[in-house]
Amino acid sequence: MYAKIAINNAKRSIKDYLIYFVTLILCVSLFYGFTSLSSSDYKLITEDSYNFEMLKQILKYSTYIVTSLLVILIGYVNKYMIKRRKREFATYILLGAPQKTVAFMFFIEMLVVGIISIFIGIFIGTLFSQLVTALVLITAKQEIIFSFKIYVDTVIITFIFFIAMFCIIGVFNIRSLTKIKIIDMINDEKKTEFQFKRSNIVYIIIFIMSILFYVICGYCSYKILQAMSDITIIRGTKVSCALVAIITFVIGTYALFYSLAYIIVVIKEKWTSFKYEYTNLFLIGSIVSKIKTAPILMATISLTFLGAALSFTLTLLMAQWGVGFLDYRLPFDINISNSYIHITEIKDIPKIDYSDLASYFSNEKYGLKDYCQVEKYFIKDTDFYKGRNKENPYESKSMPALAIGLSDYNNLRRMLGYNEITLGDNEFTTQWEKIDDDIYINDNINNNSTIDVNGTKLNISSNPYYKETIGEYIYNMGTGTLIILPDDVCKTLVLAETDFFGNTKIKMSCDEAVKLRKEYVPNWFEKNYREVCTKYGDDISSRNESIYPGSIRIKVGETSEILNGSLAMRILGIYLGTVLLMISLTVLALQQLSDSIEHKERFKTLKKLGIDNKEINRLILKQISLYFIMPIAIAVIGFLIFLYNYTKIFKNEINIYIGDKAFIFNVVISLGLILTIYICYFVATYYTFKRNIENKSGS
């Protein structure tokens, strides 16, 4: 008998809480779709220059963490349903059912709802997994091949994960229900979230404080923007301002919703003509009642919605940033950078000859199209000691800009398709990172328009600087500047570093790139420059760094890693944003739908007073609109503040790595996704509310 009651209640729960049921299905489908990528049976067919194993591992474990947020939603809905049905549970107990049995019936009921959602979610998840696969293949510029398949190991993982989640919450529900007294079950629905009973002055003070908190948040945002253009302001001040801005925004949001109900009542009393206009009195009463009984919930929903919006937008932008940064960071197929920072004695800096490596690359199947060996020099011998911590020679603070010869610089430019440059007698020029601001560069050049190189005075060229991308690793650590000197001047300078830059004829595979980076090139250095490797190798390896020379960068490997990270950010950002959005909108929807079930008598009264169905539908639309808009309006303000600060702080990075069009496109995509999900929940809530009112009114 009890089993039959539990199953019937489960059917009723699916009907009454359809939005929650659909949300569960969507979350299961998303979980299955992402987790299927890490299945042992899953095959992602791409060319051998890509390796997406890292992406699979990231998605595998990150999906568990993100999906665990559903515990909040499931826990809230269970708590909400228990609260709504405590009178029903009390009736079962009064009719003779043991309290533990009633609690277990509720557990079975919710478990049945969960299992049904898992089955449907897995079916939809097979379709969603194909969308994820298509996204990966499009990003890798591969042919899209659809293959609808059920992955048994992923199905088992999905069942175990979600059933474990339902069971954990179910155990807490059983313990909670068995401890509640019958009299409390009967009277519990009369209680609100918190019994806020304060004098009017308290609410006014809290409201004023909420406004002050928002003002402080805005002021801190202004100070952060001001600090970005003032190098005298220390980094700690910027971080402190950011923390204060976040904390004050959060506190201000909770304070606002705590006092908002009273403020609305005050406005209602002052605005008499509006209050008594048609159904406004009923509408205001409903909204005030909801805010008054659940201010903490409303504030939490607002912040959750803000988190969802940031997750959607920020991860899409950062993913695009990563892809754009790749071309700037490593424009050459092979880059071997030799750093002197590991060397403590200037006489130990070796003059490296990469010709053997160039021959090896040329004889491999990928071949070597062209290459350049670049020698970098200290302007002064004492530059070797600049920026070094005496206690730790490997810790750099402010490193000197290094110099290279004109012929080496032109070789690099020619390999990248740029025009070669010329220098007049006793002239020099500079190369800067593309991200550096022109005003900053000009100020620096004006203050250093002449340099002394071993007694020879050089003047800045008529073309004082160049910003074409030649890679990140050519600059000395933390400088972003190169000084271009005539070749004969460089012959008198002390060698600092020797780097190798090369382009292959065809793409090498990921396996070949890994072999070069981890085996062949380090072994070649150890064999040919054993003395320096032996002297400094132990110190380097003890800090978990690669053996001398420092860094070996292969574009194929870097591209694969960047694509893995970019895709992971895109996919997880969309997933996290969707989960947070669905949590906040599901809670909002359930709060409103409870009105259609619990307060149906109010709408019956309106009908008796002569209000027709058309006007009641308008009233429902206004009520749901206001309830959906209020918490989200605060989130939108927070989102706009963040987006404005983000575009100002990272203006150069956005222009260079993302581009204005791509930036706008990604923001529009993220806002489009948010708006689509929002409208779906809003429309579903409206029509379900209407259906409940019509059914209840007609009964």
**Token duo for residue 85:** 């049905």
Q: Please give the pLDDT value at position 547.
A: 44
pLDDT for the residue 409: 92
Q: Look at residue 132 and tell me whether its pLDDT is greater than 80.
A: no
Task: Read off the amino acid at residue 554.
Answer: I
Q: Which of 272-286, 347-361, 683-697 has the highest mean pLDDT?
A: 347-361
Asked if pLDDT for residue 541 goes beyond 50, the answer is: no
Buried b (16+ CB within 10 A) or exposed e, 125-144: bbebbbebbeebbebbeeee
State the DSSP code for 375: E
Average pLDDT estimate for 117-138: 82
Count of beta carbons in the 10 Å neighbourhood of residue 580:
24
Q: At what angle do helices 200-228 and 235-270 cross, to 10 degrees?
A: 150
Amino acid at 464: P
Phi/psi-derived region of residue 478, left when phi > 0, alpha when psi is between -120 and 50, beta in every other case:
left
Q: Decide if 302 contacts 631 (C-beta within 8 A).
A: yes
Task: Give tens-digit pLDDT for 230-272.
Answer: 655 545 567 788 888 889 999 999 998 888 877 777 776 666 6
Q: Which residues contact 366 (CB under 8 A, 6 or more apart)?
A: 504, 505, 506, 507, 508, 512
Is 371 in a helix, a strand, or coil?
Answer: strand
CB 329 within 8 A of CB 576: no
Give the residue, 658 or 191, on which the prediction is more confident.
658
Rounded Cα gap, residues 431 and 469, in angstroms: 9
Residue 540 has a pLDDT of 45
Assign 309 a pLDDT band (cuts: 50, 70, 90).
confident
Please give the pLDDT value at position 579. Answer: 84
In the predicted structure, residue 12 carries a pLDDT above the cut 80: no
Instruction: For tokens 């003395």, name the residue.
Output: 531
Query: For 564-573, what is each residue's pLDDT tens digit?
Result: 778 888 888 8
pLDDT value at position 7?
A: 67
CA 546 to chain centre: 30
Comparing 151 with 393, the larger pLDDT belongs to 151
Q: Indicate whether 187 pLDDT > 60.
A: yes
Query: Mean per-residue pLDDT for 531-548?
Result: 55
* Res 278: pLDDT: 61
Q: Which of 511, 577, 22, 566 is nearest to 304 (CA)?
A: 577
Q: How confident is the model at residue 546 (pLDDT cuts 50, 70, 90)?
A: very low
Sign of the torsion formed by the C-alpha atoms of 355, 359, 360 and 361 = positive
Q: pLDDT value at position 190?
A: 55
User: For the residues 154-162, what does the mean pLDDT come to?
Assistant: 89
**Greater model confidence, 119 or 659:** 119
Q: What confidence score (pLDDT) does residue 586 get?
A: 85
Q: Taking a C-beta distance cutoff of 8 angstroms, is the pair 595, 696 a contact?
A: no
**pLDDT confidence tier of residue 410, bands split at 50, 70 and 90:** very high
Residue 386 pLDDT: 75
Give the integer Cα–Cα distance in Å for 78 and 85: 10
pLDDT per residue over 574-608, tens digit each?
888 888 888 888 888 887 777 666 666 676 777 77
What pLDDT score was predicted for residue 373? Answer: 92
Say if residues 414 and 372 touch (Cβ distance below 8 Å): no
For residue 539, the model assigns a pLDDT of 46
Q: Does residue 130 carry a pLDDT above 50?
A: yes
Nearest to 305 by CA among 582, 670, 664, 589: 582
Task: Give the pLDDT of residue 412.
Answer: 92
Q: Is 289 helix (H, G, I), strand (E, B) or coil?
A: helix
The residue assigned the tokens 């992402």 is 34
| Alpha carbon distance 26, 34 (integer Å) | 12
pLDDT at residue 610 is higher than 90: no
Query: What is the per-residue pLDDT for 376?
Result: 92
Tell me the helix, strand and coil percentages in the chain, rounded to 5: 70, 10, 20
Confirm whether pTM is higher than 0.85.
no
Who wins on pLDDT, 215 or 530? 215
pLDDT at 280: 63
**Is the confidence at residue 478, as pLDDT, over 90?**
no
* CB contact burial 375-394 (16+ within 10 A = b; e otherwise): bbbbbeeebbeebbeeeeee
pLDDT value at 655 more than 90:
no
As a whole-number percent, the residues of the chain with pLDDT over 90 amount to 8
| pLDDT value of residue 394 | 42
Pair of tokens at residue 538: 């132990």
Report residue 491 CA to chain centroid gap. Answer: 50
**Distance, CA of 522 to CA of 518 (rounded, Å):** 7
Cα gap 175→561, rounded to integer Å: 48
Q: Is 451 within 8 Å of 483 (Cβ atoms)?
A: yes
Q: Report how far apart, in Å, the C-alpha atoms of 533 and of each of 125, 539, 591, 638 are.
A: 53, 10, 68, 53
What lies within 8 Å, CB to CB, of 439 at 6+ separation is none
pLDDT of residue 250: 92
User: Do the Cβ atoms of 319 and 537 come closer than 8 Å?
Assistant: no
Higher pLDDT, 677 or 613: 677
Question: How does DSSP assign 134-181, residue by residue?
Answer: HHHHHHTT----------HHHHHHHHHHHHHHHHHHHHHHHHHHHHS-
Distance CA 631, CA 585 (A): 10
| pLDDT confidence of residue 235 | 53
Alpha-carbon gap, residue 30 to 124, rounded angstroms: 9
DSSP string, 237-276: HHHHHHHHHHHHHHHHHHHHHHHHHHHHHHHHHH-HHHHT
Q: What are phi and psi of 375, to 5 degrees?
A: -105, 130
pLDDT at position 9? 63
Mean pLDDT, residues 647-663: 77
What pLDDT is attached to residue 646? 83
pLDDT at 194 over 70: no
Q: What is the DSSP letter of 216?
A: H
Q: How confident is the model at residue 430 (pLDDT cuts 50, 70, 90)?
A: very high
What is the mean predicted confidence (pLDDT) over 176-184? 78
Q: Where are the alpha helices (DSSP H) in 345-427?
A: 355-363, 406-415
